[in-house]
């Protein structure tokens, strides 16, 4: 990662924890996980709290739906690390690999409910263009999505627009497929806290 302090700026307790994670998962510690341990009082503690609330807090969207939103937003931002991590997590959550692949290949023809499709379309536009209008939102609501569900989806969008930017700026290393699968298993079991 860059700057270099993100590679070497951890205390002995944190380094021991990283060693334990490597031992148990037989995979390198993902840079996304390392980042939240660097000066956690500045960013990591509150970022984890927000991301956990957005991804696993109470919502009419399932964890799988929200992981798919995270992957879709990350694809709009062309962020390979987060697309890899969250498409793996969505696949495991849904137990449906073709569905996740279809959404990322072509949202309009993918086999998902109209409400989820309309929501993903709106999140993609907001992420790419930086704005959406009332008409975009009316289309999502007309597809049967509640106001609270739109708010919940916007929280996922905010969490991943942040993480995508940090992944690019700090240079997160893209993991192997096995590394992403191990990370996905952890995120489904433990969440983001």
Site residues for another protein per CB under 8 A: 2-6, 38-39, 41-43, 46-47, 49-50, 53-54, 57, 77-79, 122, 126-127, 130-138, 141, 147-148, 150-152, 154-155, 157-159, 161-162, 164-166, 168-170
The answer to whether 66 and 90 have CB atoms below 8 angstroms apart is no
Beta strand ranges found along the chain (DSSP E): none
Q: Report in angstroms how near the CB of residue 43 gets to another protein at its nearest.
A: 5
Angle at 73 between CA 182 and CA 67, to 5 degrees: 40
Query: φ, ψ for residue 118 (rounded to 5)?
Result: -65, -35
Sign of CA dihedral 104, 105, 108, 109: negative
Helix, strand or coil for residue 175? Answer: coil
> 72 CB contacts (<8 Å, ≥6 apart)?
103, 104, 107, 120, 123, 124
Q: Report in angstroms how near the CB of residue 23 gets to another protein at its nearest.
A: 28
Residues 124, 179: Cα–Cα separation, whole Å = 26
Residue 35 host element (H or E): helix 31-35
* CA distance readout (Å), 185 to 3, 46, 89, 103, 179: 29, 23, 7, 21, 10
């Amino acid at each position: 990662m860059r700057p270099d302090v993100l590679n070497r700026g951890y205390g002995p307790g944190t380094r021991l924890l990283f060693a334990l994670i490597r031992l148990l998962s037989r995979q390198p510690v993902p840079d996304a996980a390392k980042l939240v341990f660097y000066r956690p009082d500045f960013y990591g503690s509150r970022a984890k709290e927000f991301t956990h609330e957005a991804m696993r807090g109470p919502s009419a969207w399932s964890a799988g739906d929200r992981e798919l939103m995270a992957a879709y937003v990350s694809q709009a931002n062309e962020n390979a690390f987060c697309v890899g991590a969250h498409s793996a997590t969505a696949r495991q959550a849904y137990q449906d690999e073709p569905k996740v692949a279809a959404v990322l290949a072509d949202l309009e023809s993918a086999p998902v409910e109209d409400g989820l499709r309309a929501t993903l379309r709106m999140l993609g536009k907001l992420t790419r263009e930086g704005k959406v209008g009332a008409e975009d939102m009316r289309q999502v609501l007309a597809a049967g999505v509640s106001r609270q569900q739109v708010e919940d989806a916007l929280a996922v969008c905010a969490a991943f627009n942040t993480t995508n930017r940090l992944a690019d700026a700090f240079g997160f290393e893209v993991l192997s497929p096995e590394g992403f699968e191990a990370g996905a298993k952890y995120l489904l079991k433990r969440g983001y806290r």
